[in-house]
Structure 1
């Protein structure tokens, strides 16, 4: 049975108004209700998530948030995607996304959070609004972070990642191991945001501004402390070694502090010896001169 077959009359009416994106008629409807607006919400019908999915105006998003008296934005609701048609949506990725929703439903049980939906639709104004109202960028849905779900849906972009990084997302809470299936550009961006971050840059600027001297040893220690903030798992190196993508291995090598260099060299040399013994080949690349 389709979800729209079991919607109440009032739910169907407000769904139609949201489809029209008409805030004046929506206000009239809300004012005509004898019960609070949030009474229309249920486990598989959520007005905020619906409004975001229907690409409603930001004023409507704020109206629904304020009138529904949400105690938290860190919740999930079953996505009733068949209630709306995105075939005319300006974003081609969203049209393709809707066409694949039935497949994606199996992997994520087809549940959404408001923040996930706003990111899927690249509605950055609503994303910022939701985060400011308490939406957690580390909120998990079926054990997956929102960033991971966006990647699975092929809806992750550098702009979305930059927006999340700007709003506090970092590898401090999101373990780098979870990035192993991401495109390398996203791994690189997360690393560069976490290591040599804003605090480190401010430290260097203050040295320059105040013309404060610093010894080479102290400066190198400061750099190593930054590098040692992250420990890149060996599995990530193996991934790119197996692909013979040595430029990425060389890049990741930069994030090894001096005290870890010996163990890293031993690990790489062990891999190369294994490769040579089993395949009677040896790959050459300038990177290995560093070893």
Structure 2
């Protein structure tokens, strides 16, 4: 690219009140790139609002896609280290028993990893925030986390729970809490399920079918012409990420659903629980219920 072409692009991208000498200075700085100049540019970039920061460093990603990418990377790290997030005990018959640890402890790891990864963007998860309205309507709601920018403004919602089966009640209860928790209609909304099941693939199928078939409280489905109900963005034996778009009044809200397989094959091999798949008797979904003797989080 010649100097004239570069100056023309700078003129189009820069405020109209910049003089030619200022534009030439930018061109010269771009060619020299001293440590001092790089420091100045870096300081200017990281001081930007999150939306502007993503526009500069996000390589074409939208803000919600930038957050999704970070969330997926954190989920991959948690799955890699999931053995550290399991409780181990020995039954009376000397059979080893494994199960995932408490939801709050997993959330602590998720929050810490996400905040460290997003420190440069000055974005982080504030966990256990009270606000909005609880499902009963008698007290403020308590969301697992809200993602905030450098000015402490909420820009996204994070809700997580443990899942020991494709339990329709557990899943829909958490999805329907979002409306009360979030009076600002934030987008995106991240739903993370820490799964401890024998058949993770069946759980994925049941979860995706359930989510696509139902109406979340306070949200309406996008028009069918806008695409499928749940778009699969990532799928593996231990991690699944799906995206759907909903409307809350005039505002479009993106939901990201992240399912993490927190179970090890060794736990499956020693499990004494008989597991079978049974159709869910529900008018709003043809999802499947994977029965298990494990308790669930409500």
TM-score (norm 1): 0.26
Higher RCO (CA < 8 A, seq sep 6+): 2
State which structure, 1 or 2, has the greater radius of gyration over its C-alpha atoms. Answer: 1
